[in-house]
Amino acid sequence: KAGVTQTPRYLIKTRGQQVTLSCSPISGHRSVSWYQQTPGQGLQFLFEYFSETQRNKGNFPGRFSGRQFSNSRSEMNVSTLELGDSALYLCASSLSGAEAFFGQGTRLTVV
């Protein structure tokens, strides 16, 4: 059974640019969540989607947005990148929002 796939694995962007990250969940999973992981703050929840609807949103500025498609694949977008957005972005999928299985993450570096 294929796991959660995130692309790309690594990204380097310049301040002020925008970036889109992609996540393909485990087949059959309809819930997709996004997390930001940094050494100082640990893992922090960004948002969660279920059947194309955002059910929960964390305490992040509006520059962070996401969406989910009808095939459950999800994307997150960060606009007007700041140095502090450098982090490992993790996607997790679950059947209904409980037990979550994570992808390998996208390492974003903002320079």
Partner 1 sequence: EDQVTQSPEALRLQEGESSSLNCSYTVSGLRGLFWYRQDPGKGPEFLFTLYSAGEEKEKERLKATLTKKESFLHITAPKPEDSATYLCAVNSNSGYALNFGKGTSLLVTP
- By CB under 8 A, name the binding residues for partner 1: 4, 6, 31, 33, 35, 42-45, 48, 50, 55-56, 58, 90, 92, 97-105, 107
Query: What are the backbone dihedrals phi and psi of residue 52, each rounded to the nearest 5 degrees, phi first?
Result: 70, 5
At residue 85, the 3 state secondary structure works out as helix
The strand pairing partners of 74, in sequence order, are 23, 68
Q: What is the CA radius of gyration of the chain?
A: 13
Report the nearest approach of partner 1 to the CB of residue 16 (Å): 27
Select 13 or 102, whichever has its Cβ closest to partner 1: 102
Select 78 or 100, whichever has its Cβ closest to partner 1: 100
Select 17 or 56, whichever has its Cβ closest to partner 1: 56
- First and final C-alpha spacing in the chain: 37
Specify the amino acid at residue 50: F
